[in-house]
Amino acid sequence: MSKIALITGITGQDGAYLAEYLIKKGYVVHGMKRRSSLFNTDRIDHLYQDPHKENRNLILHYGDLTDSMNITRIIQEVQPDEIYNLAAMSHVKVSFDTPEYTANADGLGTLRILEAVRLLGLTKKTRIYQASTSELYGLVQEVPQRETTPFYPRSPYAVAKLYAYWITVNYREAYGMHASNGILFNHESPMRGETFVTRKITRAVSRMVLGMQQKTYLGNLSAQRDWGHAKDYVRAMHLILQQDAPSDYVIATGITTTVRDFVKMAFAEAGIEVAFRGTGVDEKGFIADVDETAFAAAVGEEYLEGIRGRIGSEVVNVDPAYFRPTEVEMLIGDPTKSRTMLGWEPEYDLPALVKDMMQADIKLMKKDSFLKAGGYRILNYFE
């Protein structure tokens, strides 16, 4: 018999990679998707199966984390062996604009799942993974951050996730549930949402090298993040639920990098050296040099003329609109527990992640006339 998994947030970055990973492992995967006026399944379209087909291994259900009756009904119907609660309003800056909704979905949503499992008598059958976050460390109390580091959340998002973290621990201790937190540090990919900083950068740099955009505006260039690849991180989620006992794990690379250096690395993928001058809101990034051989190989000879004319010009400005009311300045995780207890090792380092994202975005921008005209949408990354 195949194991049955239920993934909330299956249409998001991690949900898509996890669904693909579990299907390859022989699982039947059920996913919760939100009703939307536009299709929101682009990231999982390559896995989609006609509902009329028998023995499907991907089945989608309409649902929302703010609706307990809906959650309870889906869990009752699916009778999952494993639940991966990945759904969330996941954008830190947006959570300052929608704090109540964020608390409802990201905080209470987790309670609704735990309580549904308990009320349905599934506490012994169903294992639960909660998508916890390095944002819990916020104003960091220890460097690097590990499972025992005290939390200090710095946004409505992180505070909602703090509730979700502790209610998961509480249900584990109170009812003996196999419920675990993965405290995941930032993880990115070509499928990352376009408003998170790494993807915003790789999209903008790809458009700039193709002559489709002049510059990009960013917020805090000195923020430091421990960035890994989402493909590696969904393997860790699965490993956490395969352990005999539930527990909480930091998943991270152990290396931290500034946003500024990520910008430099993204341009370097196209053979372009970017330097920064000035400080604070007056800091500017500009093209210092171009390695034409590397540029031609990464982007194409036909774009060389355009980039030659841009040496010395500005490509990055700071816009305080992207600053957060309270910022998380630096995150760096200590993944010792996950390495020793789960045997988890990431395959991608940061240069490999940047290369993957840049190659995918250059390809994407080249082929889509809608994007060339300045449009924003996610395309099928699996083509």
- Residue 335's binding partner among ligand NAP, ligand GDD, none (Cβ under 5 to 8 angstroms by kind) is none
In terms of CB distance, is 36 or 148 closer to ligand NAP?
36
CA proximity to 78, closest of 114, 111, 120, 131: 120
Q: Which residue(s) pair with 58 in the sheet?
A: 29
Q: Which residue, chain included where needed, has tokens 């209610």?
A: 167
What is the number of other CB atoms lying within 10 angstroms of the CB of residue 324? 15
Minimum CB distance to ligand GDD, residue 122 (Å): 27
Binding mask 226-265 for ligand NAP (x = CB under 6 A): ----------------------------------------
Percent of the chain that is helix, strand, coil (3-state, to 5): 45, 20, 40
Chain positions 277 to 336 lying near ligand NAP, rule: CB under 6 A, are none
Residue nearest to ligand NAP (CB): 12
- Say if CB 262 and CB 197 are below 8 A apart: yes
Minimum CB distance to ligand GDD, residue 137 (Å): 8
Q: Catalytic residue at 157?
A: yes
Q: Which amino acid is it at 271?
A: G
What is the number of other CB atoms lying within 10 angstroms of the CB of residue 379? 15
In terms of CB distance, is 10 or 28 closer to ligand NAP?
10
Minimum CB distance to ligand GDD, residue 321 (Å): 9
In terms of CB distance, is 191 or 197 closer to ligand GDD?
197
- Say if CB 83 and CB 109 are below 8 A apart: no
Name the residues that contact ligand GDD, by CB under 6 A: 90, 92-93, 133-135, 185-186, 195-197, 200, 218-220, 223, 225, 259, 322, 324, 327-328, 331
From CA 168, how far away is CA 246, in angstroms rounded?
Answer: 10
Q: Which residue(s) pair with 250 in the sheet?
A: 183
In terms of CB distance, is 8 or 206 closer to ligand NAP?
8
- Using CB under 6 A, pick the residue from 19, 44, 71, 105 that binds ligand NAP: 105
Binding mask 155-184 for ligand NAP (x = CB under 6 A): -----------------------------x
Minimum CB distance to ligand GDD, residue 38 (Å): 22
Chain positions 123 to 142 lying near ligand NAP, rule: CB under 6 A, are 131, 133
In terms of CB distance, is 126 or 189 closer to ligand GDD?
189
Stretch in the footprint of ligand NAP (CB under 6 A) among 48-56, 61-69, 171-179, 252-260:
61-69
Residue 83 found at the interface with ligand NAP (CB under 6 A)? no
From CA 13, how far away is CA 17, in angstroms rounded?
Answer: 7
Instruction: Report the SS3 class of residue 159.
Output: helix
- Say if CB 183 and CB 146 are below 8 A apart: no
In terms of CB distance, is 167 or 259 closer to ligand GDD?
259
Structure tokens at 357: 């994202």
Q: Catalytic residue at 202?
A: no
Laid out side by side, the sheet with 314-318 consists of 216-218, 314-318, 284-290, 272-277
Q: Which amino acid is it at 172?
A: R
- Say if CB 6 and CB 78 are below 8 A apart: yes
Q: Which amino acid is it at 341?
A: M
- Using CB under 6 A, pick the residue from 90, 95, 168, 224 that binds ligand NAP: 90
In terms of CB distance, is 43 or 290 closer to ligand NAP?
43
Binding mask 11-40 for ligand NAP (x = CB under 6 A): xxxxx----------------x-x-x---x
Task: Please pick, among 11, 133, 168, 202, the residue that the annotation labels catalytic.
Answer: 133
Q: Residue 370 to residues 32, 45, 155, 364, 376: CA-CA distances in angstroms? A: 29, 20, 35, 11, 8
What is the number of other CB atoms lying within 10 angstroms of the CB of residue 143? 13
Laid out side by side, the sheet with 248-251 consists of 58-62, 28-33, 4-8, 82-85, 127-133, 179-184, 248-251
Task: Please pick, among 20, 82, 135, 188, the residue that the annotation labels catalytic.
Answer: 135
Residues forming contacts to ligand NAP in the complex (CB under 6 A) are 8-9, 11-15, 32, 34, 36, 40, 64-66, 86-90, 105, 131, 133, 184, 186-187, 193
The residues annotated as belonging to the active site are: 133, 135, 157
